[in-house]
Chains A and B, each alone.
Chain A
Amino acid sequence: MRDLIIIVKKELTELLRDKKTIINSIVLPTLLIPILMFGGIKVSQMISESNQQKTVQIGLVNAPEDFMKLVKGDSLNEITNYTESIDFKTLIEDGTIQTALVFSSDWQTHMDSLTSSQIQIYRNGTKDNVNGRVSKMLETYSTELKKQRIAQLRIPVAKMTPFSENYIEIGEQKELIGKRVGGFIPYIFILTMWGGCLLAAIDLVTGEKERKTIETTLSLPISKFNVLLGKSIVASLLGFLPALLNLIGLIIGLNFIDGIPDEFKLAINEMLNFQSISMILLLLIPFSLFLAGFIIALVAGATTFKEAQSKASPLIIVIIIPLVMALLPGIEFTWSTVFVPVLNIGLGVKEIMAGTIDMGMYAAMLFSLIAFAVAAIYFSYKKFSDENAILK
């Protein structure tokens, strides 16, 4: 134990004196979420504001008076009237107009006889702002016409409204948001954890080879297992630390960044209480050891940083696929998914944040992660003991 502490202390001192490690494992994870939140909110606000101020150039054919009045009601709409339907595709492509509405030539006859008519809408599906505003205008116009017809036919409003919907929410706000947002949170911290573990593991194993100190380390009167365990602990710490800082960044971001809806803020704050944070962090301890052990095993035979990176990088796919699966509808935290690493964390964190986690399943997941961590450390020890690989 004493030797292990000495090794951990030395490896940690070395790593924390490396600028690359400080930036990737401390600075970036702390700032990542607040920057993403702040940036995301600001960008969406800017887009929304600029969209509201944009003019929409609309081409109209056979438009009835009441519709013209509705369109002119918004000063940002620029209208061009056409007497007949022409090549609107070209006009939209060259930017003369952004959309065109072609009312049928017998529009008024249909309206008078209370039958259904047709409007052809030329549009570019990618122009969300233009299409949204046109759809909204058409919806308003349609509602107005319906009202007029109901009045004309003297039908009581109640008869045209067979039922009204009244939702009574029985799920807590926390549960709703937890299940929706909870799946995304592991994405952030597992990916930063991966980055932290990867850099640290490569520096501690391949870096030692590059700096030609591996022989010195192996000549010390400490067992190879203790050397390896020390390196794994430090690599996992450097993976765990960014994840912890991510959570801290999230809490700071929620409390200090303006523009987040209050009910969302409240729900997230309620989710990220002491108990749920402790439960999440407890899962991340064996998981970071598992990652560290696995990466060390992969890079043990590499002689350069580049080679180590190319050997370990494909592992990210094994991490991302279960995380994506955890977001898919229909995949739940059950006894069959509880033992699948990464997927269990993705699903488990959702349940923890929603406050619906089954403690028996949580314990099973924790033990399975510990078992995976032990297996990964053993695997890395085997690789680290391979004289052909380590002294290459």
Chain B
Amino acid sequence: MIQIEKLTKSFTTKTGKGFKKETVTVNAVNEVSFECKPGRIFSLLGPNGAGKTTALRMIAGIINPTSGTAIVDGVDISQGNDEVKKRIGFLTGSTGLYERLNPDETLDFFGQIYRLPEKKLKERKEYLFEKLGINEFRKKRMGQMSTGMKQKVSIARTLIHDPEVLIFDEPTSGLDVITADSIIDLIRESKNDNKTVIFSSHIMSEVDLLCDDLAIINKGSIIYNDSFENFKKEMKADNLTQEFINRVKEA
């Protein structure tokens, strides 16, 4: 379960030339509230620069919120984000893998960091390697792998500690359809395993395939938050993409 209440993130930048400097504060995420339930897939939609990644980074404990609260699997992120991080699996479209390590070393590293007992780590690693078909390239360095291979390893490292909450930040961006399909399968499986799943996207076909609940974020603020079923009922446009565009423009 993820409960977000008035979550805000401000970034301060200094602009100007010479001695004349101006400090500008921008709210990348502004008093955002929503709830993601276990066994359901929550989609966070929004155009580029809307604040999706910033919101997900705050939930994942990568950056600290300026104000507001986020409770992830019963733990408030303000009470030390390492506890929250242990409960989360975070996956992005850019895979984020260490290029000079091989899959074996990568999963050992993540397993050790998540403090998995040695035996459990070995079992979990073998299970994921088998399930995702990583065995044949488990000793190959990431830098020498194809994007599809990397994404498989990325999924394995996200699931190594069997997290209760899964966060996917534009997980299919830049991937070919076959690799993107493996991510969609993973999201579905996680839902079936009663995990709390939140994913950000601006690809409406993916949303249609997976989504149970959704929120649309634009310029840092939530402009829609309800179940996907209700969203479809309230649709005025002919298709999801047009409805999404209209709602963003109206906001």
B61, B62, B114: most-surrounded residue (chain A CB, <10 A)? B62
Q: A215-B62, A387-B64 are in contact. Are A220 and B113 (CB under 8 A)?
A: yes
CA distance A10 to B61 in the complex (A): 22
The residue that A213 contacts in the complex, of B85, B96, B113, B141, with Cβ under 8 A, is B96
Closest to B83 in A: A221
CA distance A258 to B243 in the complex (A): 84
Q: Are A387 and B61 in contact (CB under 8 A)?
A: no
Contacts of A17 in B (CB 8 A): 100, 141
CA distance A220 to B97 in the complex (A): 13
A155 to chain B, nearest CB (A): 80
Contacts of A336 in B (CB 8 A): none
Closest to B113 in A: A220
Contacts of B94 in A (CB 8 A): 212, 215
Q: Are B96 and A388 in contact (CB under 8 A)?
A: no
Q: A13-B100, A216-B96, A387-B64 are in contact. Are A221 and B11 (CB under 8 A)?
A: no
CA distance A216 to B105 in the complex (A): 15
CA distance A216 to B57 in the complex (A): 11
Q: A3-B113, A219-B61 are in contact. Are A213 and B82 (CB under 8 A)?
A: no
The residue that A391 contacts in the complex, of B63, B96, B105, with Cβ under 8 A, is B63
B67 to chain A, nearest CB (A): 15
Mark interface residues in A207-221 (1 if CB within 8 Å of B CB, else 0).
Answer: 000011101101111
A18 CB-CB contact with B under 8 Å: yes
Mark interface residues in B75-97 (1 if CB within 8 Å of A CB, else 0).
Answer: 00000001101101010101111
Closest to A9 in B: B109
Q: Which residues of chain B (121-135) have a CB below 8 Å from chain A?
A: none
B25 to chain A, nearest CB (A): 12
Closest to A16 in B: B100
Contacts of B109 in A (CB 8 A): 6, 10
Contacts of A212 in B (CB 8 A): 94-96
Q: Are A13 and B101 in contact (CB under 8 A)?
A: yes
A222 CB-CB contact with B under 8 Å: yes
Q: A6-B109, A221-B114, A223-B82 are in contact. Are A213 and B98 (CB under 8 A)?
A: yes
Q: Are A222 and B82 in contact (CB under 8 A)?
A: yes
Q: Are A13 and B105 in contact (CB under 8 A)?
A: yes
B13 CB-CB contact with A under 8 Å: yes
The residue that B99 contacts in the complex, of A3, A211, A388, with Cβ under 8 A, is A211
A14 CB-CB contact with B under 8 Å: yes
Contacts of B95 in A (CB 8 A): 212
Contacts of B96 in A (CB 8 A): 212-213, 215-216
Closest to B11 in A: A388
The residue that A221 contacts in the complex, of B57, B82, B141, with Cβ under 8 A, is B82
B27 to chain A, nearest CB (A): 14
A22 to chain B, nearest CB (A): 12
Contacts of A215 in B (CB 8 A): 57, 62, 90, 92, 94, 96
Q: Are A213 and B100 in contact (CB under 8 A)?
A: no
Closest to A223 in B: B82
Contacts of A387 in B (CB 8 A): 11, 63-64
CA distance A10 to B112 in the complex (A): 11
The residue that B100 contacts in the complex, of A6, A14, A219, A222, with Cβ under 8 A, is A14
CA distance A391 to B62 in the complex (A): 9
Contacts of A221 in B (CB 8 A): 82-83, 85-86, 113-114
Contacts of A13 in B (CB 8 A): 100-101, 105
Contacts of B101 in A (CB 8 A): 10, 13-14
A383 to chain B, nearest CB (A): 15
Contacts of B214 in A (CB 8 A): none
The residue that B97 contacts in the complex, of A216, A218, A388, with Cβ under 8 A, is A216
Q: List 24 A-B contacts (CB under 8 A).
A: A3-B113, A6-B112, A6-B113, A10-B98, A10-B101, A13-B100, A14-B100, A17-B100, A212-B95, A213-B96, A213-B97, A215-B62, A215-B90, A216-B90, A219-B60, A219-B61, A219-B90, A220-B85, A220-B110, A221-B86, A223-B82, A387-B64, A388-B11, A388-B12
Q: B-contacting residues of A (Cβ < 8 Å)?
A: 3, 6, 10, 13-14, 17-18, 211-213, 215-216, 218-223, 387-388, 391
- For the complex of A and B, list the 8 residue pairs with the smallest distance between their C-beta atoms, beginning with the closest: A216-B96, A221-B85, A17-B100, A219-B90, A14-B100, A212-B94, A221-B82, A221-B86
